[in-house]
Amino acid sequence: MQTHLATRTLKGTQKPNKDVQALFAVQPNRKAILFIHGFSGDAIDTWSDFHGLLLECPKCTKRDVFFYGYDGLRAEMNASAAIFREFLDWFFNSTKILLNENLPQSAPRTNDFEYDELIIVAHSLGAVIARRALLDATNNKSNWVAKTKMILYAPAHKGANVVDLALEVASSFSFLKLFGIGARFTSPLIDELKPESRSLKKLLEDTKTATKNGTNLHLIACKVVLAEYEKIVVNDIFGDDPAPYAIPETTHTSVCKPNRDFLQPFSHLEVCL
């Protein structure tokens, strides 16, 4: 049975110019899931079979699903967060326009349709960008922030050494790391993601301030999932985030890549729906 319309690249006159893939539910329940990839990832490829598994999961049949893409290789981190925040503003405040411009005429939604919940599933750098975007939106008094939740896979919020990862994930030639690729690669992210970098320290301070006295709980992750053989990010707990889960036999890149024979990354999301 078909639960979602065909995958489409989101278009829109006011939408930030980023690659966002959307799967609109046939019978929507005003809830959505948004995936945001990490360093050097791709809107959909990062998540491997998440796409297919979601379509077969009973808990997802009525949820809209979005895969957000951005330049995770060269763009400056706070700039990426600002663009993502703009996207979320558009997503929540211009929902009617978003739907009119992207749904086929024969699949309209009611005029009063709006999203009540958005689960942001973020990997690696995506976790930093998502939290920064939500923090800034909170400071801007955006009223939609309370509708969001974060589930983080191998988050880079306590720092990461992305040099070795540069081309391992930037191309399909997984063996390129054997050729000293990292030494040739320059990106603002290399410094920004260093443990104790100014950007990351500020992210932690701002989050602590915003969540003081139990407020703004959307800035605290619902769940954090780590890789057993993590070599890229620092696996320390960030602020008041919950104690993490770890998936055995996974690496930084495989921790968010479920398939039909390896469902653990998917199951961690499924229980939160």
In the complex, the residues that contact another protein under the rule CB under 8 A are 1-2, 4-9, 21, 23, 26, 44-45, 51-52, 55-56, 74, 103-108, 166-167, 170-176, 178-181, 184-185
Q: Shortest distance, CB of residue 205 to another protein, whole angstroms?
A: 32
E strand map for the chain: 8-9, 20-23, 31-36, 64-68, 117-123, 148-153, 223-229, 245-251
Residue with structure tokens 């309370």? 146
Closest CA to 60 of 23, 21, 109: 23
Neighbours of 147 (CB within 10 A): 18
Q: How far is the CB of 135 from another protein (least distance, A)?
A: 28
Query: Residue 65 or 127: which CB sits closer to another protein?
Result: 65
Using CA atoms, how far apart are residues 232 and 88, in angstroms rounded to an integer?
28
By beta-carbon proximity to another protein, the closer residue of 74 and 212 is 74
Q: Compute the least distance from the CB of residue 47 to another protein, in Å.
A: 11
Closest CA relative to residue 255, chosen from 223, 226, 232? 226
Least separation in angstroms between residue 270's CB and another protein is 16
Provide, rounded to whole angstroms, the least separation between the CB of residue 188 and another protein: 12
Nearer to another protein, 186 or 213 (CB): 186
* Residue number, 44 or 272, with CB nearest to another protein: 44
CB of 235 to another protein, least distance (A): 25
Phi-psi region of 216 (alpha: psi -120 to 50; beta: other; left: phi over 0): left
Q: How far is the CB of 26 from another protein (least distance, A)?
A: 6
CB nearer to another protein: give 136 or 270: 270
Q: What are phi and psi of 130, to 5 degrees?
A: -65, -45
CA 81 to chain centre: 11
Q: What is the DSSP string of 106-154?
A: TS---TT---SEEEEEEETHHHHHHHHHHHHHHHTT-GGGGGEEEEEES
C-alpha torsion angle, residues 60, 263, 71, 7 (rounded to 10): -40
Q: Name which of 67 and 84 has its Cβ closer to another protein.
A: 67
Of 142, 133, 185, 139, whose CA–CA distance to 162 is shortest?
Answer: 185
* Least distance from another protein to the Cβ atom of residue 16, Å: 17
Element (H, E) at 190: helix 188-192
* Residue closer to another protein, measured from CB, 125 or 181: 181
Tell me how far apart the 2 most distant CA atoms of the chain are, in Å: 55
Nearer to another protein, 140 or 174 (CB): 174
